[in-house]
Amino acid sequence: MADEPIVWAGWKFTPVGEKPEELRAYKYYLHRRKRNLLPWGVIAILKDKAPSLVSGTADQSIDDVCIQEILQAIESRRPGYELKQCRNFFVQGLDRGVREGLWSIQVPAPVFTIRRQKALFQPETFIRLPEVRLIQRLLIASWSEPEFFQQSESYLQSLKAIKGFIPGDEYKQLRAGQLLLTAMLYGGLLESQWLYALPSHINAMQANADCCWIDFSKM
């Protein structure tokens, strides 16, 4: 219609492009089309409440109260994805207008999606729990194993066939493994970045009568 305001170039819409024939590309096309259509609902609200925002016209009557009313209308009864896309479209357009000196308002904050961290305990983790408990019991038993601390040759001999052991250095490897497993089970040494950093920082280990530790925060 001739009396409808022209949409200002500062309102950036997702380009849709040509409709593709290939199925996989068509799915991305539908996603872009959805992202393109959502902001038009925001434009419809702006046409009703503040037409000067739509046309990018300087207007001193646009204040923070007006912006909050528009935000409430935009976010009303919208699911999470639509709320994020519509609010951010509105916020980014306002920010461009404020930078150009069109409106004197406080630009609202955009919505950021925080990636959900994968839970530590997954179904496959629980399947391996009995194995972990067995390793834990064997570790505890090694703490009071006389032959381990006496470096008994018969005790070490039984371990020489294990893959990965370096001949002639069995006791040191056992002791290192004992300390490492203790740190993982009881010291919270679970992050891969700290595990990888451990060999190069082992000389920074500190100890008292009760425990030993490495303060990675000082590295």
Mean pLDDT confidence for 7-14:
92
How far separated are the first and last CA of the chain, in Å rounded? 66
Q: Which domain holds residue 183?
A: 123-188
pLDDT (tens digit, 9 = 90+) per residue, 182-215?
888 887 777 778 888 887 887 888 888 877 787 7
pLDDT attached to residue 138: 84
Q: Based on the fold, state whether residues 183 and 217 are members of the same structural domain.
A: no
Q: Based on the fold, state whether residues 178 and 202 are members of the same structural domain.
A: no
Mean pLDDT confidence for 157-163:
69
What is the residue-averaged pLDDT of the chain? 83
Last residue of a domain, one of 51, 85, 114: 114
Alpha-carbon distance values, 133 to 15, 56, 138 (Å): 55, 66, 9
Q: Based on the fold, state whether residues 170 and 198 are members of the same structural domain.
A: no
Q: Based on the fold, state whether residues 4 and 64 are members of the same structural domain.
A: yes
pLDDT (tens digit, 9 = 90+) per residue, 55-78?
999 988 899 999 999 999 998 878
- Distance (Å, rounded) from C-alpha 47 to C-alpha 190? 54
Q: Based on the fold, state whether residues 5 and 107 are members of the same structural domain.
A: yes
Q: Is 31 helix (H, G, I), strand (E, B) or coil?
A: helix
Last residue of a domain, one of 92, 114, 136: 114
Last residue of a domain, one of 86, 114, 142: 114
Q: Which residue has the higher pLDDT, 97 or 175?
A: 97
DSSP code, position 213: E
Q: Kindly report which listed range (37-46, 61-70, 130-139) carries the lowest average pLDDT score.
A: 130-139
Q: Give how many domains the chain has, as a whole number.
A: 3
Among all chains, which residue has been given the structure tokens 């204040």?
63
Helix axes 64-75 and 23-49, enclosed angle (nearest 10): 140
